[in-house]
Structure 1
């Protein structure tokens, strides 16, 4: 498959330089000062960081982050010993609907820290890496809004979105006149269904670290089946 996205790629190193000049919080200045991989770096040479959040809901403007899982990986290896997981106490009330989904209760978070108490460690883990997520509106928008609330300024960073990648793949596979005449529609791009297409095992969903590992494995499979590891990271980051 050729270049994934037709629109011009964001020049993230240049954007980070701009953000560094404008950032007021010292932690964000430190974050933006860490160099990203160059846009032309082959995927095979990048150490990614799979990231997953569990949240109290789906609206970053009124819901909060309750768990964060992350694990570094390359196209050939997942560094499980370097994986990290945090349980956080959100400012927002836990709703029954979300408890049913992620299984995290009030008792689990009563003694948990606020995001601000572990922010240094989280930003240090993210710095210099390209996060890989499954649906970027969760991880990117929730962290941005959480920092706006706590620091008075948000955060921006590149991501590879396995949901967007899989959506592009399935739309292409379902395209063409013959498929349209047959009424073929693109397949589901939810994390579990996407993994099954690559014969990856089922994991219990809605645990931040498990989902981060699942996302890392999915990207490895997507690149192996549909792309080349020699393609530049700029063809994929958003």
Structure 2
């Protein structure tokens, strides 16, 4: 591994050593390696509800991004078997019933597959904080930590993109910018897939990420 010099390099090395010390299973040390350049993983989860403390993950979708390419051939699509039944309110959103996920993977096996798919790549998603919080709760017994990869929020990228387009007198902290996923996709001229499907949502987040990077680079 190439040695990184300078204050940031030393801080990164110190952080990695500290996290390695915390890691409960050395088999997953690869998540702490330097990420491949210009690679990311777009991620989305479907859950039994919105309570991070008590609800469960029932589907995981992820796709790799390399440069400006979304590698849909390198994707991950998993159903996860929950301990409890899927509430009707949740089924109406993502259309996954208890019978649909009854043969899903145990959460520990699903997380192992997800970690191997992500590696050390930074994560991309739309309102990713919730998905990461759900994953982290399940990951602590496995890793002794949450996901260590950087997380890139697509809605924040879009907000910055739209904020830069506002006239100076409207550029203030409470600028009214519509961050709904459908609005974001339509405004960027991107195709929409059926929402509330983990893989579809991950692919749409990846599309938005790539487009916003291109727009930012052009600006």
Band the TM-score falls in, shorter-chain normalisation: 0.7 to 0.9
Q: Say if 2:116 is the partner of 1:124.
A: yes
Secondary structure of the equivalent of 1:81?
strand
Q: 2:217 aligns with which of 213, 217, 228?
A: 228
TM-score by length of 1: 0.77
Give the root-mean-square deviation of aligned CA atoms: 2.5
Change beyond 3 A, Cα 1:197–1:92: same
Aligned partners of 2:76 and 2:114 also within 8 Å: no
1:138-217 alignment runs, 5 A limit: 138-148=130-140, 150-151=141-142, 153-155=144-146, 156-174=148-166, 176-177=168-169, 179=170, 185-217=175-207
Deviation at 1:163, TM superposition (A): 1.3
Measured in 2, the distance between the counterparts of 1:140 and 1:74 equals 21
What TM-score do the two structures reach when normalised by structure 2? 0.83
Retained in 2: the 8 A contact 1:62–1:92?
A: no
Q: Per-residue displacement from partner, 1:59-89 (whole Å, max 9, x unpaired)?
A: 2211111111111113421111111100001
What residue in structure 2 maps to residue 234 of structure 1? none
The 5 Å alignment of 1:1-238 reads 14-32=14-32, 34-37=33-36, 45-148=37-140, 150-151=141-142, 153-155=144-146, 156-174=148-166, 176-177=168-169, 179=170, 185-225=175-215, 227-228=216-217
Distance verdict in 2 for CA 1:224–1:14, change over 3 Å: farther
Larger RCO of the pair (alpha carbons < 8 Å, separation 6+): 1
Structure 1 unaligned segments of length 5 or more: list them.
1-7, 38-44, 230-238
Q: Distance in 2 between matches of 1:134 and 1:84?
A: 17
